[in-house]
Amino acid sequence: MVRAWLTAGVMDQGRLAPTQKGAPQGGVISPLLMNIALHGMETAVGVRYFTRSRGGIETAPEAPVLVRYADDLLALCHSREQAEQVKQRLAEWLRIRGLVFNEAKTQIVHVDQGCDFLGFNIRRYHGKLPLIKPSRDAVKRIRERLRTEMRALLGSNAASVMRTLTPIIRGWAAYYRSQVSSEVFSALDDYMWKLLYKWAKRTHPNKSRWWRMDRYFGRFNRSRNDRWVFGDKDTGAYLPKFAWTKIVRHAMVAGAASPDDPGLARYWADRRGKKHNGPLSVLLLAKLKAQRGRCPLCGTLLLHADRDPQSPLEWEQWLRGTRMAVSKLNIATGNSPDDQRLIHTACRTRTARPAAPALLLAASTPSGPA
């Protein structure tokens, strides 16, 4: 079916454009094709599972563990001999499918030395349990991103700074919140404070240090006893900090459970229901809870996703899309804020009569379903 689909051609404005071969590298269908081609890799490596007496599925004690994301993989083994055997098995298994290892990126390392995978660093410290932290390269990239954005914001006002940096901060923290990231978050907050003060100094070169700090820093977030929060006194808006993102451990998926298995629909629905709602503002989370997460016009869920965004950039795009949907339209706020409701933008456009004063929340974003 997939082979016929790939050669079926593309219809564009009534014209058929034939597809002579395959799909472009990096195309939207590439991850699916890679998962089809590499399905069964765990079995080839020798990964084995067993069911515990109290329920749940775990990897057999002496078996290797394989983690794969598209064409990137990480095999966790108990000895170097086992690691070499796993590599040999995989090389033979890939050869049959016309694939080979990229030797420049393939290496066998000890857990005490650690390795990077998908922006994380897996390493054992002081002979204890291994810890998973944001990698040095990932931290270096976000620091460069913040520094570049702040340079571009010279001459802008505080509102522009918050509008630009808030999705970046919340998106990066949302991606790394499932692992040991508290120390990195605090270090990034310290770096962010220095960038913000430098911005304030360049914006007001003739003002004193205390004037600048009093103008842009204060206890803007009333739920936290923090004097050094960047914000705007005129509007009360403030810039969130990395460390405000709560660490939420990732719940392992049971065995080989697939979201595409119709028999596991209840399992995945229950799993999504227990998940954190993401790095949204306190106001949005409170209103979502008050409305039980549903749109009052159509009765369906306001936020629903089959999967979380898979990278800091996707989280950033998800947050930008949500924020644009909330602030994009001018909303009459004649009543108290408690009378405002969250609704789908599509529901508002379909409603003939004007709805009550409401905040608008998108049902989907460029990075995937919201």
Phi, psi of 319 (to 5 degrees): -70, -40
Classified as helix, coil or strand, 330 is coil
Q: Residue 106 and residue 91: Cα distance in Å, rounded?
A: 11
Per the prediction, the chain carries an average pLDDT of 80
Q: Which residue has the tokens 């034939």?
A: 18
Q: Strand pairing of 115-117 and 72-76?
A: unpaired
**This prediction's pTM:** 0.76
**By the 8 A CB rule, do 141 and 122 touch?**
no
Which one-letter amino acid corresponds to residue 121? N
Query: How many angstroms separate the CA atoms of 228 and 219, rounded?
Result: 7
Residue showing tokens 């390795």: 115
How far is 39 from 244, CA to CA, in rounded Å? Answer: 39
Which pLDDT score, from 0 to 100, does residue 204 have? 93
Structure token digits, residue 350: 């379909």
Q: Residue 286 class from Cβ within 10 Å (0-12 exposed, 13-18 middle, 19+ buried)? A: exposed
24 torsion bin: left (phi>0), alpha (psi -120 to 50), beta (else): beta
* Rounded Cα gap, residues 264 and 300, in angstroms: 21
For the cut 90, the answer to whether the pLDDT of residue 257 exceeds it is: no
Range 202-208 contact pairs with CB under 8 angstroms and sequence separation of 24 or more: 202/154, 203/154, 203/155
Phi and psi angles of residue 16, each rounded to the nearest 5 degrees, phi first:
-90, 125
**Interval 105-118: pLDDT, tens:** 899 999 999 999 99
Q: What is the pLDDT of residue 154?
A: 92
Of residues 334 and 79, more confidently modeled? 79
Taking the C-alpha atoms of residue 327 and residue 324, their distance in angstroms, rounded to an integer, is 5
Q: Tokens for 70? A: 């598209």
Q: How confident is the model at residue 10 (pLDDT cuts 50, 70, 90)?
A: confident
* Each residue's pLDDT tens digit, 169-179: 999 998 999 89
